[in-house]
Chains A and B, each alone.
Chain A
């Protein structure tokens, strides 16, 4: 379903500073001012395979490369080296509500965001009621999203993102959305999707939810796979390592 073969991802830290004509001009004359090419490997030589229906958890400290990995899999970034093969339709829930336009109403945003996630018009028409129902925002449907609270925006975004039955679901820490009631509801929805045979890549810092949901775990550190395999064992080891440091 998802196959990563020796995937490496390089960021050039120098390049990502402000780059302008002025800088370029100065650097011609002043060698010291030239942008140093400091390579940073967000991922190096990562290989693993996810089979259909599996739920894989990704753990690791901040900056370990988890989110980069998700971006590579979802096609947002192309790996510098290596190969990513993905079979099946992906629903990325990397960041909820990325495609919202705050000037538009909730109703309009459902269509816009749906389109960004790759849904067809017919599909959104059909599922519109479900989305509204799940988001609990029926009364605010025609209000501009800029007047929404962040919780409301997250609820709406979650409802749009999860209305599909995707073959592959990519989740980056989103279960803690909205109030307690909605958190419970969204967790159930996720469980439902997972049990429905969806392949899931799941990133979270909550080991509790990882242990609960995942079949296998991949532990990343400094862009490398430290360990992969049994959820319980690796989570335990990871927890120990984190606290000792």
Chain B
């Protein structure tokens, strides 16, 4: 109980610092760009447009019975969030070394702030995402997406995604302090991960034997749950939702334990 109280007090104390760090990232991200924050809205749309053109026209990809545009966009923004946030979180501790070496700040703040910063971008990209869903009702693409009561489950899925990413961020930022090679290794891991996540293809095209292994891909679980809601207008299966939560909790637990155990040693390695 006291431990939780301490954590909450700590959060409260550093809430302002956290908001300042997030604000800084925003300011720097959109500095000197004419469209500024509009890019957060525009970027996923343009990405979707490009990928839709390439995959559905050139490679003739499609997913039977659902709006391919929404299918694609859901995949893009989900994976984009995960890869960008975990990448930034990974480098955050090393990049803020000058600070860590001079002032006492709880170190978990850096990866967490990055995950939240990208999280805000993610929320912004939900606007064009929803816009596309609405437009499919009016005949955009070949099939309409669904708007239904199960949308209320989406926040739960997004929270799981956030927790999973934060846990990964803690783990990666901690390991990368001791082993800088992780920066490069993770870049490759992410590429592999991306291709083993059904972002632009349907899991149906994978041989049935291999499909089972996709269950172990947390990002697939998050995607599957939100796609079931948005594309099929159905409630995700209980197993699917439970797995979302389980992956989030495992990542968070491992990340926190590894980070907490090693954070006092950071200063000798940076």
Contacts and interface: CB of A to CB of B under 8 A. Distances in A.
A108 B24 contact: yes
A116 B106 CA distance: 10
B103 A117 contact: yes
Contact of A21 (B17, B28, B98, B179): B179
Given A19-B269, A78-B264, A104-B28, A111 B103 contact: no
Nearest to B185: A21
Interface stretch (A55-63, A92-100, A188-196, A199-207): A92-100
Contact of B104 (A16, A75, A103, A120): A75
A16 B28 contact: no
A19 B21 CA distance: 30
B31 interface: yes
Given A103-B31, A116-B99, A19 B104 contact: no
Given A104-B24, A108-B27, A98 B268 contact: no
Nearest to A124: B16
A205 B100 CA distance: 25
Interface of B: 13, 16-17, 19-21, 23-24, 27-28, 31, 98-105, 178-181, 264, 267-269
Contacts of A36: none
A9 to B, nearest CB: 10
Given A12-B268, A104-B24, A76 B104 contact: yes
Nearest to A123: B16
27 contacts: A12-B268, A15-B269, A19-B178, A19-B179, A19-B269, A20-B179, A20-B180, A20-B181, A75-B104, A76-B100, A92-B102, A94-B102, A98-B98, A98-B99, A103-B28, A104-B28, A108-B23, A108-B27, A112-B20, A112-B21, A115-B19, A115-B21, A116-B20, A116-B103, A118-B13, A120-B16, A121-B16
Interface of A: 11-12, 15-16, 19-21, 71, 74-78, 90, 92, 94-95, 98-99, 101, 103-104, 108, 111-112, 115-121
A95 B98 CA distance: 10
Contacts of A103: 27-28, 31
B24 A16 contact: no
Contacts of A77: 267
Contacts of A20: 179-181
B113 to A, nearest CB: 11
B103 A99 contact: yes
A98 B103 contact: yes
Contact of A76 (B20, B27, B31, B102): B102
Minimum-distance CB pairs A-B, first 10: A75-B104, A98-B102, A115-B20, A115-B17, A78-B264, A95-B102, A21-B181, A112-B20, A115-B16, A121-B16
A133 to B, nearest CB: 22
A131 to B, nearest CB: 15
Contacts of A98: 98-99, 101-103
A99 B99 contact: yes
A76 B267 contact: yes
A16 B19 CA distance: 33
Contacts of A16: 268-269
Contacts of A112: 20-21, 24
A74 B104 CA distance: 7
Contacts of A120: 16
A153 to B, nearest CB: 14
A170 B181 CA distance: 36
A199 to B, nearest CB: 17
Contact of B101 (A11, A21, A76): A76
A209 B63 CA distance: 76
A116 B21 CA distance: 9
A19 B105 CA distance: 25
